[in-house]
Structure 1
Amino acid sequence: MKVQGIFLGASVLALTFGSIAAQAQTAPSVPADQSEQTASQDGEVIVTARRRSENLSTTPVAATVLSGADLANKGVANVDALQFAAPSIVVNNFGQGIDFNVRGIGKGEHNTQTATGVITYRDGAPTFPGYFQQEPYYDVANVQILRGPQGTTVGQNATGGAVFVNSNDPIINGGLHGYVNANVGNYSEVGAQGAINLPISDTFAARVALYGTRRNGFYDISGPGGTRYTGNNGDQRHIAGRISLLWKPTAQLTISSKTDLDYLDMGAYVATPFQNYRPVGVAPVTQYSDLFDVSLNSPQEARDKFYRTILRVNYQFDSGIQLRSITGYSRGNTKYRADLDGTARIATATGVTPVVLPTADRTFFDNVNERQLSQELTLLSPDNARLSYQLGVFGVWNKYNFLPPFQFVSDNSSLPGPGSEYRLQGTNPNRSLAVFGQLGFALTPKLKVEVGGRYTASRSENDIQILQFNTPLTAIQKTTSDNFSYKASVGWEANGNNYLYGFVATGFKPGGLNPPVGLAAPDFFKEETVTSYEAGWKSNFADRKIRTTISGFYNAYKDFQVIIANPSLPVFGAQINVPDTTKIYGFEAEAEAKFGGFAFNVGMNVLHSEIGSFFALDPRGMLSFTPCNPNTGPANTLCRNLKGNDQTYAPNFTFNVGASYEIALGDGMTLTPRANYGHVGKQWATLFQTRALGDRLEARDILNAQVAFTKGSLTVTGYATNLTNQHYPAALNSGLYFAGAPRQYGLKVLKVF
């Protein structure tokens, strides 16, 4: 990958191996116009995800905000662990892709053609939609998680939610300060991270942050017949760096840039056939094995590399009105090679003398480039005005390039070769343009109404060449979709300790093109829309030492996007729209308390989902060559009506709780034990809900614990994640289970200067 900068800022990164289990510096306080960060003001959490500095306790939005210190205390070092630290989140990691769902909505089916319903932002700019999500959390100021459709003021339109990951900013006149953090752990894990603030002048500052990790794989892999496996075991070698620049030439103008460079070698995305994990059906499974006890006969590879640069310009007029620009550019390459059947079974050619074939039975390989450009320009009224407004434009341009010559290869036969392969090369560019606005009016000092809207126009194209079973095919396709979404809310501060809100909002996920399969080009699928109703109560008790949030929501989805067997060729998948209404509704509650040295937090979500009426063939069952129309069926043993089934990766219950107690030892020393528990309930991995095919993913119960000793600027922490060592499938893809991380433990040392 050729690395080049295009905006203000450049990366000069020193390479160092290292790791961090989860210790981040507490976010410094910064001016509100300097970043999308939060700060604590008089004990209140200030959230900026809606492009304003707002008190979370009096804002009509369901959100969870975790500071850098919160992430460290809860053992959150990457996106996978977020699901155990906040309610309503499910993360299903199957290697090259991560499906991030909020309230059951996100990206339940992973391909480049399907947009995600949960947008992840880094320092205000949207990231790649679904890929490159192994990016570590280091030198993070905070993570802001917004639940529910984001169809008006928050960056890109989304039907499920938005996640803002904000790194620490440089501080002008903040002195030379920073931190160094190193750790060692099991699986031969070693590493370090650190950051330094550089006060260059009275108007200019820089911050440099570095991160690295090296860790051996979790797996015990054997080759054919129990022989030694010579491929990669999932050994990780990560290195990343960030340089942040902040220039404030006048009191009114602030210019900042952040440039990230990441090289993430995951070694391999190891997986095992679902039937090997535990007995299924009536008959016992004779070849039972643990998720981390795998046999393979194909080489593996898993590596992402990318860079991202973000330029932010903020100008505040004398009237207090702000003009804000956020520009983001990312470019990356992802490479993946897998044993797609997850076994060491070797194919044997038939004949008088059996011939052992040298390659695996089913394999997969891809080598894909992706680049993305985004631009947002917003005009904002002063935060404290009785009549407030936002006006803005937004655009994002994303392009996948499946590299030639045909570096996307799926071999689905026991006899490898061109006759059994599906090969693809070409490009899939996508574009989304929007104009948005919002008005807010305080009817009284305690009662405020807001109305906002957004018009979005999206486009997706295919310029693809295929070799399908050695038959050349070409697909040049284009589809467009547009939508107007809105939000109307009312918020009432009943008194200094109680705030009530309610809103109705809509969201939009663009349509797209199905991967070309067969002689005829497949149909496109339409956009997905949602209408959401939500009401909530935020309160404070015990002199604001206890904070609570309770909310209920009801979402009605029209043209819900799902993936089923291709009606004309069922062995391949096709994205379609559910013609009937899909419903997802539920209840959430969060609370946190702090009494002296004791701190406590808890969150929960109860969810119910119902897919609307539509008919589909399960491609894993018997092949059917009779039509199965998604709208009309006809219903039979193979063509099933899936009405009422649960949405995929949407557990009915999630729960998290954490507690810590700071013990003063005297002479400036403290000892702080902490424990955090997260529960993600049972969930379905496919809409067909067939237990015998591994569709039921068991509940995840993760207990993390740590003990931190602090003396002055030095902290030594012993930590353990997944303390009970639960082995659980984190995702199901192509009949393979991808395991969640087992128990990890170690020691980390933090020095702040």
Structure 2
Amino acid sequence: MKIRAFLLSASVLALGWSGAAMAQTTPPPPKDDTQVDEVVVTAERRSTNLQQTPIAATVITGAKLEEKGITSVDQLQFVVPAAVINNFGQGIDFNIRGIGKSEHNSQTLTGVITYRDNIATFPGYFTGEPYYDVASVEVLRGPQGTFVGQNATGGAVFVNTNNPVVGGSTSGYIAGQLGNYADIAAQGAVSIPLGDTFAARIAFNAEQRDSFYDITGPATATGNEGLRFYNARLTLVWKPTDKLTVNFKTDYNYLNYGGYPSDPVLSPNDPFKITANAPMFARDRFVRSALRADYVFDNGITFRSVSGYQYGNTAYKADLDGRSTGFNTFYDYVQEETYSQELNLISPDTGRVKWVAGAYFQADEAKFPPGQFFIGIPPGSIFTQYTLYGTNPKQNTAVFGQVGFKLTDSLELQVGARYSRTTTTNHVHVLQYGLPITQEQSAKSNNTSGKVALNWTINPHHFVYAFVATGYKPGGLNVPVGLGLPAPFGPEKVTEYEVGWKAGFFGGQLRTQIDAFYNDYKGFQVIIGYPAFPTFGFELNNPNPTRMYGVEFQAEAVFGDLSIDAGGAWMKSELGKFYAHDPRIPGVVACDPETGPVGPGCFNLDGRDQTYAPEVTANIGIQYRFTLDNGDRLIPRLNYGYVSPQWATLFENRARGDRIEQRNIFNAQFAWTHGDVITTLYATNLTDQHYIGAINSGLRFAGPPRQFGIRVMKAF
């Protein structure tokens, strides 16, 4: 539901700034220390070797998450090429190759969707759930139109948690952590065999710490309490025969961030020392359940069913002007419920032809209860408040499939397509500073996206691919602001051309990925001044395509006791011809997106950078293993991530604070392994860079400062 451009959105995404956090999983099994581990990707509904799959992707195992100090989604930007994540508490802008989410409201869907244990999570919100007891995280770059469908124009993230092993033994781990900011955390998991055909795994995570902020002003006692996380997961696996496997997972998450303090974007003070007079609060609470059943027929074809249910509620309070003067309060409480069902038929991995066919359905509804959403300038009077209540139901249905055909023993042609149909409806009642407005409005769209790829396996160590892929993100509805029912905004579409080379060298000691891409990006959804009367903000589509192109690389190497991993990307973006009125500048003169004309507040944006599209991202990690005479191991590690400057708006106005400066983040740790106990000293943001994690509504939100401490994990 679209609110005016200067407002925060109607649904809260709170993102975990819990810094270093815990070990992710039990220690990995013994491996060949002279080679880089083989990495598996599950994006195409079957497990395939990443080095022989035509996808640009970063796959991070649970053990690697621990080594890199990654416990939440916003830290992925420091280990994934071409990814940038701006965390502003009321949502995140997750963009890959400059495409994803740029407007902070619930009606504008994400372009980088997250799957957890095979089901698509809430579309763009409730993503602050920490990574604990994780098997792997897969970050796919570029449109994933065939298998993921809508909301994957920029890419997709697959988070896979650990499963118990049927017929295995009792095993698990327990871990504890102490850190600065009075950070105390505990985490653990246990797998329990329950007979010959049944097994269970229980995992938990709990953390609390003090706030990063020093707040002066009337709000010091409200919204600065720090973080409280409580998470639990139950996994049940039933395997009565070799042909049938049933996996049930249910998660509970309570994420209380205390608040997301912020101040005006051009404030000269330290971003952690602010003033505020309105109360602050940020809390997400939700459950997610997934039921997956796989049955293998005698002919080797697998039938898979994945059913999902999610229910969450979120509450948020903020000081909209970020000062101790004036009184500008935002508050919302939103409930969201999602049902999903996916069915697959998957051919065997053998043979000249491999195929997948599927169908998908998802129903999602956001509910805004009466009296639970308002902007008060100041609050307390119907003439100084904007209030909203109602519902926003959405539906998505799709059918999809992909066929791979081996033209020769080394050359394969892949063709995939997906047809999607979406609807969104607003049943909304608004009281706009005393003016009642009712909205009963729907928008529908349909789309066919897909991929055609040509894959050449030169030999077991070299794989080359080229493809054309398309992606699609639905449009949505603008909430009325006094001008009647505004027109819906349309969908975004992207066509990508990509070539890539994946290689292995030195007998498996070095593995690399290199790719180049070109995107034709149409219909970018953006908030500008209402074209006919720019007093109000309005969301519409860029009328001309944006060009985006770049190159990326990744490398992993193991040379004896020395391990190195690195990645990087260079990208350029250029907006097509587009006239727009900056909604922060008062105006009443029309500014047509196609013709302008250029005038006070009306700008020609042709050739400007896409938002949240930094030119350069880079990362490197280095560790060395020392083995002592008694068998103990000492492993120091250093990680570095870099994100170059980026623009938060298309208007690129430095005087208004539109520039987000570069991020240089060093993480370090020193691990001592003694038997089945690992003790680790850690530090994140080692140089204590005070950087801006996001800009929204004229406010700046700081990224996390330096955190350090000790954690101890024991496996059993």
Q: Shared fold by TM > 0.5?
A: yes
2:184 alignment partner in structure 1: 190
Residue type of the partner of 2:217? G
Q: State the secondary structure of the residue aligned to 1:138.
A: coil
1:279 alignment partner in structure 2: none
Does the 8 Å contact 1:219/1:234 carry over to 2?
Answer: no
1:357 alignment partner in structure 2: none
2:242 alignment partner in structure 1: 251
Residue type of the partner of 1:23? A
Structure number with the bigger relative contact order (C-alpha 8 A, sep ≥ 6) is: 2
The 2-side partners of 1:512 and 1:41 are apart by: 49
Matches within 5 A, 1:475-486: 475-486=439-450
2:559 is the alignment partner of 1:579: no
Matches within 5 A, 1:79-478: 79-154=73-148, 156=150, 158-223=152-217, 229-276=220-267, 288-345=268-325, 347=326, 360=327, 362-405=328-371, 407-411=372-376, 413=377, 417-478=381-442
Q: State the secondary structure of the residue aligned to 2:148.
A: coil
**Cα–Cα, structure 1 residues 634 and 42, in superposed 2: closer, same or farther, change >3 Å?**
closer
Does the 8 Å contact 1:455/1:485 carry over to 2?
Answer: yes
What's the offset of the Cα at 1:519?
3.6
2:594 is the alignment partner of 1:617: no
What's the offset of the Cα at 1:187?
0.2
The 1-side partners of 2:498 and 2:27 are apart by: 31
The 1-side partners of 2:487 and 2:150 are apart by: 26
Deviations 1:70-114 (A, max 9, x none): 100001010111111111111111102111111111111121111
Does the 8 Å contact 2:170/2:193 carry over to 1?
Answer: yes
The 1-side partners of 2:612 and 2:523 are apart by: 19
The 1-side partners of 2:95 and 2:702 are apart by: 18
What's the offset of the Cα at 1:569?
5.5
Does the 8 Å contact 2:36/2:509 carry over to 1?
Answer: no
The 2-side partners of 1:23 and 1:701 are apart by: 24
- Of 596, 600, 607, which residue of structure 2 is paired with 1:644? 607
Residue type of the partner of 2:472? F
Deviations 1:381-430 (A, max 9, x none): 0012210111110111111111113x11112x368632121110001111
Does the 8 Å contact 1:432/1:456 carry over to 2?
Answer: yes
Q: State the secondary structure of the residue aligned to 1:275.
A: coil
- Of 520, 531, 538, which residue of structure 2 is paired with 1:556? 520
Does the 8 Å contact 1:20/1:183 carry over to 2?
Answer: no
Matches within 5 A, 1:594-609: 594-609=558-573
Moved more, 329-338 or 488-497: 488-497
The 1-side partners of 2:36 and 2:321 are apart by: 56
- Of 510, 514, 519, which residue of structure 2 is paired with 1:546? 510
2:692 is the alignment partner of 1:751: no
The 2-side partners of 1:157 and 1:629 are apart by: 28
RMSD: 1.7
Residue type of the partner of 2:224? N
Deviations 1:367-391 (A, max 9, x none): 0001111111010100122101111
What's the offset of the Cα at 1:44?
1.9
**Cα–Cα, structure 1 residues 713 and 218, in superposed 2: closer, same or farther, change >3 Å?**
same
What's the offset of the Cα at 1:666?
2.0
The 2-side partners of 1:41 and 1:310 are apart by: 35
The 2-side partners of 1:324 and 1:724 are apart by: 48
Residue type of the partner of 1:193? Q
Residue type of the partner of 1:263? Y
What's the offset of the Cα at 1:189?
0.4
Residue type of the partner of 1:160? G
2:46 is the alignment partner of 1:52: yes
Tell me the TM-score normalised to structure 2 length: 0.95
Does the 8 Å contact 1:151/1:159 carry over to 2?
Answer: yes
Does the 8 Å contact 1:50/1:154 carry over to 2?
Answer: no
2:23 alignment partner in structure 1: 23
What's the offset of the Cα at 1:629?
1.7
Structure 2 stretches of 5 or more lacking a match? 1-17
Does the 8 Å contact 1:172/1:199 carry over to 2?
Answer: yes
Q: State the secondary structure of the residue aligned to 1:524.
A: coil
The 2-side partners of 1:589 and 1:478 are apart by: 43
Residue type of the partner of 1:728? Y
The 2-side partners of 1:54 and 1:155 are apart by: 20
Residue type of the partner of 2:660? L
Q: State the secondary structure of the residue aligned to 1:269.
A: coil
The 2-side partners of 1:267 and 1:323 are apart by: 45
Does the 8 Å contact 1:475/1:521 carry over to 2?
Answer: yes
Q: State the secondary structure of the residue aligned to 1:419.
A: coil
The 1-side partners of 2:309 and 2:467 are apart by: 34
Deviations 1:622-667 (A, max 9, x none): x111211222222213111111111111100000000111100121
What's the offset of the Cα at 1:516?
2.0
Deviations 1:566-602 (A, max 9, x none): 3356454322111111111110001110012111001
The 1-side partners of 2:54 and 2:21 are apart by: 34
Q: State the secondary structure of the residue aligned to 1:513.
A: coil
Does the 8 Å contact 2:181/2:209 carry over to 1?
Answer: yes
The 2-side partners of 1:686 and 1:474 are apart by: 30
Does the 8 Å contact 1:26/1:67 carry over to 2?
Answer: no
The 1-side partners of 2:306 and 2:542 are apart by: 36
Tell me the TM-score normalised to structure 1 length: 0.90
Q: State the secondary structure of the residue aligned to 1:480.
A: strand
Q: How many residues align?
A: 695
2:553 is the alignment partner of 1:589: yes
What's the offset of the Cα at 1:119?
0.7
**Cα–Cα, structure 1 residues 707 and 41, in superposed 2: closer, same or farther, change >3 Å?**
closer
Does the 8 Å contact 2:344/2:356 carry over to 1?
Answer: yes
What's the offset of the Cα at 1:156?
4.8
Q: State the secondary structure of the residue aligned to 2:129.
A: coil
The 1-side partners of 2:19 and 2:109 are apart by: 32
Does the 8 Å contact 2:533/2:590 carry over to 1?
Answer: no
2:674 alignment partner in structure 1: 711
The 2-side partners of 1:650 and 1:89 are apart by: 9
The 2-side partners of 1:572 and 1:377 are apart by: 44
Does the 8 Å contact 1:231/1:299 carry over to 2?
Answer: yes
Does the 8 Å contact 1:19/1:190 carry over to 2?
Answer: no
2:657 is the alignment partner of 1:691: no
Deviations 1:255-307 (A, max 9, x none): 0110000111100011111111xxxxxxxxxxx21000000111111100000
Residue type of the partner of 1:54? T
Sequence identity (%): 51
The 2-side partners of 1:579 and 1:42 are apart by: 46
**Cα–Cα, structure 1 residues 92 and 665, in superposed 2: closer, same or farther, change >3 Å?**
same
2:10 alignment partner in structure 1: none
What's the offset of the Cα at 1:22?
3.7
The 2-side partners of 1:456 and 1:223 are apart by: 51
The 2-side partners of 1:262 and 1:107 are apart by: 24
Residue type of the partner of 1:316? V
What's the offset of the Cα at 1:24?
1.3
The 2-side partners of 1:675 and 1:525 are apart by: 45
**Cα–Cα, structure 1 residues 650 and 439, in superposed 2: closer, same or farther, change >3 Å?**
same
Moved more, 253-262 or 91-100: 91-100
1:284 alignment partner in structure 2: none
The 2-side partners of 1:254 and 1:41 are apart by: 32
Does the 8 Å contact 2:36/2:511 carry over to 1?
Answer: no
Matches within 5 A, 1:663-674: 663-674=626-637
